[in-house]
Structure 1
Amino acid sequence: MSARKQTNTPLLQTALNGIALQRRLLLALSTAGLLTLGGPAALAQAKAGGTLNWAVNPVPSSIVPLTTTAGGNTEIGPKIVEGLLTYDEELRPKPLLATAWTVSKDGLQYKFELRRGVKWHDGKDFSSADVAFSINTLKQVHPRGRATFANVTEVRTPDAHTAVIVLSKPSPFLLTALAAAESPIVPKHLYEGSDVAASKYNSAPVGTGPFVFKEWVQGSHIILERNPNYWDKPKPYLDRVVVRFVTDSAARAAALESGSLDLGAGGGGIPITDVERFKKLPNVNVESRNWAYVGDHQQIYFNLDTPALQKIEVRRALAQSIDLNAFNRTVWLGLGKLSASPIGTLQSRYHDKSIQPYPFNPKQAEADLDAAGYKRDAQGTRLKLRLLFNPFVDRRAVDFVRQSLGRIGVDANIEAYDFATYVTKAYTERAFDITFESLTNIFDPSVGVQRIFWSKNFKVGLPFSNAPHYVNPEVDRLLEAAAVEVDEAKRRDLFVAFQQQVHKDIPSIEVGANPNVTVSSKRVHQYAPTGEGIRGSFSELYLAP
């Protein structure tokens, strides 16, 4: 796998100036494709064959991460469909469906040379037409793609192996937004002319990736089989991946301990209370890390269409009733990384550490609720609110919030749903007052954070977007300016001003990075050699004693 040397333009140099991540990009652009991710030593030991039993939870509503950023889709999809690029753990881009790329001097054109000889799983040729269709589709239907590709005016296809993304304004994060989990390339010949959101290929995908979709037995499993015609031979090494949906955490833990499951991460892993015990088991590895491309972050959103929650005094009172330090100790066992800002500590170059949680002060919270006109009734209740939660969130976290609110007279009724129903309730029906979410920061605030607080990203039915229905013209201005600002110092200033304004407005209670624990059998190797972590392709994963 190789790529020619890339061209670095003066504008690109300016855009990257001062950013450690983007400085390293320059080296990657000149060496892209010369090294194999995972290293030659790992490949020398790779063994062909075998079946991986992988636990995923919750059960996704589809597989391809085209119209959704749901965890199940972003984990399973990249084994089947691919992106233009992949990334190492420093987020340096590496070739995938694109083998080389250049950026024009004005930063408004990104030219990609596409890999030749790639076939879709149905035997059709992959071409630039697929890239153009996918980018234009992501701009319309993907929750983050609406912002990521907002400045894309067209995708030119001068020939079958060249695609040129044309922008109206610079996009300093674009080269980091092209992973399969974030911007999957899908077959134009199967999607064109159809309702993309309702396409059967979202749940029975045809891709170019290392594994071919075989079957999905609802409530049980998905089977992926080795792609014998994969362009990067001899990969993949596995014969089969069986995605098993085990929704009960105790059952997952038992299966991982017994060896009937080989891999479980995040929502498909073990309860955090089992971590120390699992570390002592001889047959598994336990790893806790936050993958660079994902940027774990959890938060509590207020529905600003709920009359009581339109009052900032009420939102402030609810924020002051929750002791986040106690939350981290009791729910996350001290393994989380708290952040009162929507840009978490994992994005340290933009995180404003001066922003602190509203002080835990239940007495003041009660006084504020009294003043706002919400006094306790004869039963001691001030308000009744619907409390939803994304199934990716630990139920104990939701119980903690309910108990905290109950102490100040707010009756938060927990409504628990499967993942698909939750998405409908929260983002289509908007049938909630408070929801505990798990919307990751991703690799850049313009992609992972803007979607939540940008008023133009509020759209009924669009999952994982502006759940609060938050509208602030100044915040819109700051986010839109940061999304195109190539001067790093100015871009950081814009993001700092954004964080401070959101903190004042309290559309959310930001919690921070939840612990991300992965349990794998000791026979599992190279399950996450890229910056995408478990959202990578599994093309290098192999089983060996």
Structure 2
Amino acid sequence: MTTVRLSRRAFLAGTSAATLLGATGALPAFAQPAETPKRGGTLTAIIQPEPVTLTPATNTAQPTQVIAGNIFDGLVYYDFDLTPRPSLAERWEVASDGLTITFHLRKGVTWHDGKPFTAADVKWTLENVWKTVHPRNRALFENVAETQTPDEHTVILKLSRPSLPILSVINAVGGPILPRHLYEGTDLLNNPYNNKPVGTGPFVFKEWKKGEYILLERNPNYWDPGKPYLDKIVFRVITDAAARAAAIEKGEVLYAPFNPVPFRDVERLAKLPNLKVETRGYEWLSPVLYLDLNVENTHLKDVRVRRAIAHALDREAIAKVVWFGYGKPAISPVPSTLASFFDDSVPRYAFDPRKAEALLDEAGFKRGADGTRFTLTHDPLPYGDDYRRTGEYLKQALKRVGIEVNLRAQDSAAFIKRVYVDRDFDISSSYNAAFPDPQIGVVREFWSGWLGTGTPWTNGSGYRNARVDEIIQSAAIAGDPAQRVKLFKEFQQIAVSDVPTLPLLELKFFTVHAAHLKGAVAQGDQVYAGLKNAWIDDGPRQN
């Protein structure tokens, strides 16, 4: 069989190859540590906010995935150019018609409890998790008609129709594999192992002291010889931004992802010789900051009001002033980083308060005697000061056009329940990772099939559009990449015109870590991957 190596871009562009085989498991040359790694040590990291659960199979919240990427392995991981590389799958083949994908699993892998990892775990997880409750994967894997396991180390997916995005979403958190022996026959959503997870990854869960820390320890039986290098990782919960910055500066914390400190501190910290500010490791995400406008609200159900809000906001100011340049204005829910899908011709909502006022007048919402047209509540994503400041900007901007905004604050669990379960909100802010294909991270915000499920980060606006649903379902099964691009461009035209969800910024996250922490960023999905390549260079050690 001929080995054909394809980049993620080439695969999605529809290169017709009979096979797509995994490359070697080695890190690419540019990611190889320049020095010999040292074994041992405890890495103190920051997790903010505290996770609601530790298993990404049912919850795709940022803090859950940061932790889980260290505990679980995926079938693959992703390089900086988003090429899939072998992990639990040593190699794989895609049939020329796109209807069969065969994974050859790594032998000798065990779960943290010592039980063998086999093809049965993959089959059970795909059928009972990915196709049912996983917030991103239901639509991606619905075309898998049958999962065959001819032996313990082979998984064959038989598809009713091609599903091109599958190979872009099967890393540790995109396609988390659960131990069948601990989940089969249980209540999946309430299984106790959701909060004391058992994986195959480089670190083993040991303790979660709520409000303080999550402790992971080195997996002594990890399949990748010699790794991980660290003995322990302690993820500390530090809710105050200033306290986080101080802990990092003092060296009490060595690793902190996802914009852990206020933007005003970044430039100063980057100049310190003991720290590094790193923007690599987020390539797999392509994150977009957006507002969900509850279309069931008396005022927001009128598209003219939603368009007025779009015109009332200055995205350039949000990017430069609120986010300190760590983002750029977004015009579509599909970010420009997904170049082959992105449609630059979508309707534009230029910053124009006068246009906003005219639309509000046209919709029948005149200013009252006090200058106010109506009042809305806004629930910022409770992930730190960046989102709170975005909410404060929204309050000021909408007040200028006669809309009063009340800001509410709550923890992550209350935010999820309010927005996605109770739907007791008017405007919420959040961000979604678009990932390498819109089918993975974008359409979940617009597909009506998620309504009523209470699933976080899916269709928070309550949007229903029959044509959009049809496009999403057609793109999921289209085997022709050109046809998928055409469908997604039509999708963007409708979604941006209807504006149930208002894209604000294409975000650029950063990580702050100690200069003597080596190998902390080694791949394109690093922030959601295990720190098995990380090691602490604390100088010569005595034998």
Q: Specify the TM-score bucket, using the shorter chain as the normaliser.
A: over 0.9
Match for 1:46 among 37, 42, 57? 37
Which moves more between the two structures, 296-305 or 41-50?
A: 41-50
Number of the residue aligned with 2:147: 155
Number of the residue aligned with 1:314: 305
Number of the residue aligned with 1:329: 320
Normalised by the length of structure 2, the TM-score is 0.94
String of CA shifts for 1:419-442, please: whole Å, max 9, x gaps.
111111111111111111111111
Q: 1:290 to 1:359 in 2, by over 3 A?
A: farther
Number of the residue aligned with 1:528: 521
Number of the residue aligned with 1:450: 443
Which moves more between the two structures, 231-240 or 291-300?
A: 291-300
Q: 1:121 to 1:22 in 2, by over 3 A?
A: farther
**Where does 1:232-311 land on structure 2 (aligned, <5 Å)?**
232-267=224-259, 269-289=260-280, 291-311=282-302
8 A Cα contact 2:334 2:492, kept in partner? yes
Provide the C-alpha distance between the structure 2 equivalents of 1:529 and 1:18, rounded to a whole number of angstroms.
Answer: 20
- The reply to whether residue 414 of structure 1 matches residue 385 of structure 2 is no
Provide the C-alpha distance between the structure 2 equivalents of 1:510 and 1:522, rounded to a whole number of angstroms.
Answer: 35
8 A Cα contact 2:377 2:407, kept in partner? yes
CA shift for structure 1 position 212: 0.4
Q: What 5-or-longer segments of structure 2 have no aligned partner?
A: 539-543
String of CA shifts for 1:170-194, please: whole Å, max 9, x gaps.
0011112110111111101111111
Q: Moved runs in structure 1, 4+ residues, more than 6 A? A: 23-28
Which moves more between the two structures, 408-417 or 376-385?
A: 376-385
Which moves more between the two structures, 35-44 or 451-460?
A: 35-44
- The reply to whether residue 513 of structure 1 matches residue 509 of structure 2 is no
Return the letter of the residue paired with 2:166.
L
Number of the residue aligned with 1:400: 393
Q: 1:196 to 1:38 in 2, by over 3 A?
A: farther
- The reply to whether residue 472 of structure 1 matches residue 473 of structure 2 is no
Provide the C-alpha distance between the structure 2 equivalents of 1:276 and 1:7, rounded to a whole number of angstroms.
Answer: 44
If each structure's helix is expressed as a fraction of its own residues, which one has the higher value?
Answer: 1
Q: 1:5 to 1:217 in 2, by over 3 A?
A: farther
String of CA shifts for 1:319-367, please: whole Å, max 9, x gaps.
1111111211211223312111000122122111233641222223223
Which moves more between the two structures, 215-224 or 185-194?
A: 185-194
8 A Cα contact 2:108 2:116, kept in partner? yes
Q: 1:40 to 1:471 in 2, by over 3 A?
A: closer
- The reply to whether residue 461 of structure 1 matches residue 454 of structure 2 is yes
CA shift for structure 1 position 376: 2.2
8 A Cα contact 2:162 2:477, kept in partner? yes
Match for 1:165 among 132, 140, 157? 157
SS of 1:345's equivalent in the other structure is coil
**Where does 1:86-105 land on structure 2 (aligned, <5 Å)?**
86-105=77-96
Normalised by the length of structure 1, the TM-score is 0.93
8 A Cα contact 2:281 2:524, kept in partner? no
Number of the residue aligned with 1:111: 102
8 A Cα contact 1:147 1:450, kept in partner? no
8 A Cα contact 2:59 2:456, kept in partner? yes
- The reply to whether residue 208 of structure 1 matches residue 200 of structure 2 is yes
Q: 1:332 to 1:93 in 2, by over 3 A?
A: same
How many residue pairs align between the two structures?
A: 535
Provide the C-alpha distance between the structure 2 equivalents of 1:78 and 1:289, rounded to a whole number of angstroms.
Answer: 17
8 A Cα contact 1:25 1:92, kept in partner? no
SS of 1:266's equivalent in the other structure is coil
String of CA shifts for 1:272-305, please: whole Å, max 9, x gaps.
1111111211110112347221111110111111
8 A Cα contact 1:290 1:516, kept in partner? no
Q: 1:289 to 1:354 in 2, by over 3 A?
A: farther
Which moves more between the two structures, 373-382 or 165-174?
A: 373-382
Return the letter of the residue paired with 1:298.
L
- The reply to whether residue 540 of structure 1 matches residue 533 of structure 2 is yes
CA shift for structure 1 position 458: 2.2
Which moves more between the two structures, 385-394 or 409-418?
A: 385-394
